[in-house]
Amino acid sequence: MQYSVYSKLCINSNSADTAAKKARSSCPSDGDIRFLVITEGQYQKIVNVNDTYSLQEKVTNTSRTIIIGGMNNESGK
């Protein structure tokens, strides 16, 4: 018996539906596959019980804005 956990990032609900259909169609007749769909907002509310974070988690934040210097209001002097 194999116990595994896989994740799939889907950009919208249509993509999630397609992933669910693929999982259903590829499941062996004696298989037991389950899936859970959560939104990005729900994922961001996950609580880290022991307050330890990987380097990836430390450098990643929820801000989607990147400001690159030298592109706005620069006179070139």
Walk along the chain (77 residues) and give the pLDDT tens digit of each residue: 677 888 888 888 899 999 999 988 988 888 888 888 888 888 888 888 888 888 777 766 656 555 566 555 555 55
The predicted structure's pLDDT at residue 56: 72
Judge contact between 20 and 35, C-beta under 8 A.
Answer: yes
Which DSSP letter does residue 72 get?
S
Tell me if the pTM is above 0.85.
Answer: no
What are the structural domain ranges in the chain?
1-70
Spell out where the chain has E strands: none
Token code pair at residue 10: 């889907």
How far is residue 32's CA from residue 72's CA, in Å, rounded to a whole number?
A: 55
Q: Which of 31, 41, 46, 38 is nearest to 7 (CA)?
A: 38
